[in-house]
A and B are shown apart, each in its own frame.
Chain A
Amino acid sequence: MNDDDLVIQTQTLVKRYGRKHALDGLSLAIPRGRIHAIVGANGAGKSTLFRILLGFLPASSGQARILGVDSQQLAPADRSRIGFVNEEHTLPGWMTVAAVTAMQKKHYPRWRQPAFDEVIGHYQVELGQKVRQLSRGERAGLNLALALAQSPELLVLDEPTLGLDVVAKRAFLESLLYSNAAGDCTVIYCSHQMEEIERVADNLVILERGRLAHMSAPDEFCERVSLWVADIPFQGPPPETVPGLLQRQQLDGLQHYLVLDQDEGFADFLRSVGARSVQSMPVSLDRAVNGFLAKHHAAPTELRHA
């Protein structure tokens, strides 16, 4: 793939805080276009990754490029091609909506007023209001409108709907998914809310302890994970011998195994360790991702790069 077609590209990126590795040799290539969801447990390195990509933080080693430019060499013109919305929706509280908008308009040469108007139309925000007087949901909406109006090629949303009520959340997702303003923009969507990710994501990126653990369409990830229930007398096999094990539960005397990358052969394994009955079923994205992030005993044998 041509490097110009990648909005984000990192190569064995490492960031150490003291002896702790926040990023541990992360190699990531995110293509242009569509909506990419990044998930990971707290401390998986998402925030550190964004800080490095946006040039706020130097890497310990390795390379990070955003829109084809080295993150440490970003010029103001490069920054104007990137929109960033963080979870706090930090905007100066003492300014009016009109004043904040005018300020942004001056900063960004490719400002599109129609895009701003379209997105802000989803919210009941008056131009004369002070930012401080806006609700959290309205501030999120204003933030998104400001970010989309700058005509970014890349929009990074870090937990944008955290703490929003259902109405505000819906307005936020609608303005992101269906407004023309977001049309040509590549979106990086960081969230812990699987329900949202299932609705919006074209591509799912899973980070784990500072490394890339998985990248594919959400459906494909879901297909890798399956749940098996077996009636095995006594304790069942030692967990470390169970292939692809993500999670194990013993419920009502039955063994429940959530496993990764197992086919029908897993039934044979269960029978070989004494299972009297074996049943399997697919799982939801929520369950699959949670199981994947919560696993203790198993590690994927290979990293998959889509």
Chain B
Amino acid sequence: MARTRPLMIQIATGDARPISKQIVDAVRMQVATGGLAAGDQVPSVRGLAQQLMVNPNTVAKAYSELTTEGWLESRQGLGLYVATPRQRLSDAERERRFDEAVQRFVNDVVALDIPAADVQARLQLELRALRPRKRA
């Protein structure tokens, strides 16, 4: 029986992102980096609200957005679970975002005058570090 997986996230007041958006971003990051795996149960609205010391409605809003986007799924009467990964964006949109990210990266890096081989090696290292780790 899967138990609730703790959400090791933090929020900050005074950020330009509203708290609900910070929760959405943090959960997505946890899923992307393997802190949360498909099938994990996430904390209850009330539990996470209390953990982060925010209004439960704020957490409910974030969870609802994550559910709409397909990151979380609701199981009747049981709670919310991390959904099985599926393609969440259209191919064209995915391509566009990838393009944009690469361009931004290249623009930033070219100014630093670092050999291309070093850039590639470092990038590979960072990507490898993001790969989901196996959990006991």
Q: Which of B1-40 contact A (CB under 8 A)?
A: 13-21
- The number of A-B residue pairs with CB atoms under 8 Å apart is 54
B57 within 8 A of A: yes
Measured CA separation A290–B16 after assembly (Å)? 14
Q: Is B53 within 8 A of A173, CB to CB? A: yes
Q: Is A174 within 8 A of B50, CB to CB? A: yes
Which chain B residue lies CB-closest to A201? B55
| B50 proximity list for chain A (CB < 8 A) | 174, 177-178
Which of B13, B46, B55 is A195 in contact with, Cβ under 8 Å?
B13
A177-203 interface mask toward B, CB cutoff 8 Å, 1 = contact, 0 = none? Answer: 110000000000000001100111110
Measured CA separation A302–B105 after assembly (Å)? 42
A209 within 8 A of B: no
Q: Which of A202-261 contact B (CB under 8 A)?
A: 202, 218-219, 222
28 pairs, A vs B, C-beta closer than 8 Å: A34-B57, A170-B53, A173-B53, A174-B50, A174-B53, A177-B49, A177-B50, A177-B55, A177-B56, A178-B46, A178-B49, A178-B50, A178-B56, A194-B14, A199-B19, A199-B54, A200-B55, A201-B55, A202-B55, A202-B57, A219-B18, A219-B21, A222-B16, A282-B16, A283-B16, A284-B16, A285-B13, A286-B14
Q: Is B16 within 8 A of A199, CB to CB? A: no
Interface magnitude class on chain A:
20 to 34
* Additional A-B contacts beyond A178-B46, A198-B19 (12; CB < 8 A): A34-B57, A178-B49, A194-B14, A198-B13, A198-B14, A199-B19, A199-B54, A202-B55, A281-B16, A283-B16, A285-B18, A286-B13
A69 within 8 A of B: no
| B56 proximity list for chain A (CB < 8 A) | 177-178
A35 within 8 A of B: yes
| A35 proximity list for chain B (CB < 8 A) | 55
Nearest CB in chain B: distance from A279 CB, A: 14
Please report B residues at the A interface, Cβ cutoff 8 Å: 13-21, 46, 49-50, 53-58
Please report A residues at the B interface, Cβ cutoff 8 Å: 34-35, 170, 173-174, 177-178, 194-195, 198-202, 218-219, 222, 281-286
With A178-B46, A219-B20 in contact, is A199–B53 under 8 Å at CB?
yes
| A284 proximity list for chain B (CB < 8 A) | 13-16
Which chain B residue lies CB-closest to A286? B14
Which chain B residue lies CB-closest to A281? B16
Measured CA separation A200–B56 after assembly (Å)? 9
| B18 proximity list for chain A (CB < 8 A) | 198, 218-219, 222, 285
Nearest CB in chain B: distance from A291 CB, A: 13
Which chain A residue lies CB-closest to B50? A178
Residue among B15, B19, B55, B58 with the highest chain A CB neighbour number at 10 A: B55
